[in-house]
Amino acid sequence: MLRFRVDVSGSARKAGGRDGPTIVTQSTTTSADQPANASDATHTHLAGNQKSFAGQSLKVLFISPQPFFRIRGTPINIRNVITALAEDGHEVDLLCYPFGEETTLPPGIRILRSPSVPGIKDVKVGPSAAKIPLDGFMAIKTFWLLLRKRYDVVHAVEESVFFASLFNRIWGRKLIYDMDSCISDQLAYSGKLKPEGKGVRFIEWMERRAIRRSHRVLTVCDSLSQVVRRLEPSAEIVQIEDAPLEEEFVDDANGAQELAVELRLGDHARVVYTGNFESYQGVDLLVDAGIELAKAGVSAQYILVGGRPDQVHLLSERVKTAGVEDAFRFTGLRPIEEMPAFMSLAHILVSPRSEGTNTALKIYGYMQSGRPIVATNLETHTQVLDLDCAMLTEPNAADIARGIRQVLALSDRGRSLGLAAKKRVDETYSLTQFKQRVQAMYRAL
């Protein structure tokens, strides 16, 4: 399959198609079992009769049905995108939920919050009933903003595209559908809706309609691009993978030492997980793998960073019941500023994800740290990782335990995997490249 991306150098090549489009490319790979032609490709193109905003300062309404800021994937990605836009001279109004943490942003970004809903102070990761009234109030605020201010671009994240695309039939602005995840798939594998039921089909219909009404669909990985292509073959897709939090990873030895004292860590190998504790992350598999290794006498401690108090309590009781609580440390939620220290602390970083196809943003930070990575052999990881730069395992506790044991036993192999992952992220997925790709996408509108 041909894969088309934004060329950060600004080069472009012509290809045949509707209205003589320009296909803007970053890299091309082919697979022997798939046709190499533009109609089957993940691509973006500019129709010849569309107005280009190249070189202009744009007014952007950026709609994000998320708390902002939060230490989790989508809000971090949003911060990176709006930072890239502001640094390129655009004026961004970010409309988000009525709660979130403070974060540093460059000039040119204005944070606007939708009206609060009585009794709702936060939302968990993924689909939830609490989002329904929050999104309703956000839709009203969106309509009001579009009525009051002339925006050049409406950038709608996830489900906000449903009402943004409807309103845009009135105002006719450039519409970008930021498809950070596939909502119908999320609802299916989270158990909220039956995978083949009418509810999922209805959501797919809404997604298909939103895609058709969008000038661009922004995806973060191959699997999402293929979902878009399945829903609407004529969609104009721009695929821009996530990036690490910073341009360079700087080892925080002092911070790691302070954490070691705080967490009362002994002279053992340190296996670290960072992220939320939702079921699709497979944290229970990592815990069971650690229990197995601890009972086998493997000298390691497992530091799990994240999770709500109820989730942490459940897993803490699990290791206590197994009689190996000394091998585990559950930190709960920690500030994003501490993540370099936790990664500096690690001998191994683990991503035990058991479901889903989107590549988690944290994987790029893991790679940048240069630590060996143990990850499940699922599409969510293999879109970025392979056996040259990670220890890949099956998504079960026994094989995750095998992968951890093997990296611990073969320190040279682990070191080479970590360095290969760092080289890959520096060459292909750096924060600078991410920003350049976002900026190029907007210039090509």
pLDDT digits (tens, 9 = 90+) for 240-256: 999 998 899 999 999 99
Average pLDDT, the chain: 88
Q: Compute the distance between CA of residue 203 and CA of residue 195 in angstroms, rounded to an integer.
A: 11
Q: Compute the distance between CA of residue 179 and CA of residue 164 in angstroms, rounded to an integer.
A: 13
pLDDT digits (tens, 9 = 90+) for 61-101: 999 999 999 888 899 999 999 999 999 999 999 999 999 99
pLDDT value at residue 24: 34
The secondary element (H helix, E strand) that includes residue 61 is strand 59-63
Reported CATH class of domain 13-243+430-443:
alpha beta
Dig out the tokens for 333 from the structure: 């939620």
Q: How many percent of the chain have pLDDT more than 90? A: 77
pLDDT digits (tens, 9 = 90+) for 284-301: 999 999 999 999 999 999
DSSP string, 320-352: HHHT-GGGEEEEES--GGGHHHHHHH-SEEEE-
Q: For the chain, which residues make up each domain, given as ranges?
A: 13-243+430-443, 253-428
Q: For residue 184, what pLDDT band results from cuts at 50, 70 and 90?
A: confident
Q: Do domains 13-243+430-443 and 253-428 have the same CATH topology?
A: yes
pLDDT digits (tens, 9 = 90+) for 127-150: 889 999 999 999 999 999 999 999
Buried b / exposed e over 86-96, threshold 16 CB at 10 Å, is bebebbbbbbb
Dig out the tokens for 221 from the structure: 């990985």
DSSP-H helix ranges across 153-239:
160-171, 183-189, 198-212, 222-231
CB 284 within 8 A of CB 307: no
pTM of the model: 0.83
- Which residues, at least 6 apart from 166, have a Cβ–Cβ distance to it below 8 Å? none
Checking if the pLDDT of 336 tops 70, the result is yes
Summarize the confidence of residues 356-362 as an average pLDDT. Answer: 90
- Partnered with residue 91 across adjacent β-strands are 59
Checking if the pLDDT of 28 tops 80, the result is no
Checking if the pLDDT of 195 tops 80, the result is no
CB 21 within 8 A of CB 45: yes
pLDDT digits (tens, 9 = 90+) for 391-403: 999 999 999 999 9
Residue corresponding to tokens 């109004």: 93
Alpha carbons within 13 angstroms on the beta-carbon side of residue 67 total: 17
Of residues 67, 48, 202, 43, the one with CA closest to residue 123:
67
pLDDT value at residue 52: 54
**Bridge pairing between strands 300-305 and 269-274:** parallel
Checking if the pLDDT of 196 tops 60, the result is yes
The CATH number that domain 253-428 falls under is: 3.40.50.2000
The number of angstroms, rounded, from the C-alpha of 132 to the middle of its chain's C-alpha atoms is 22
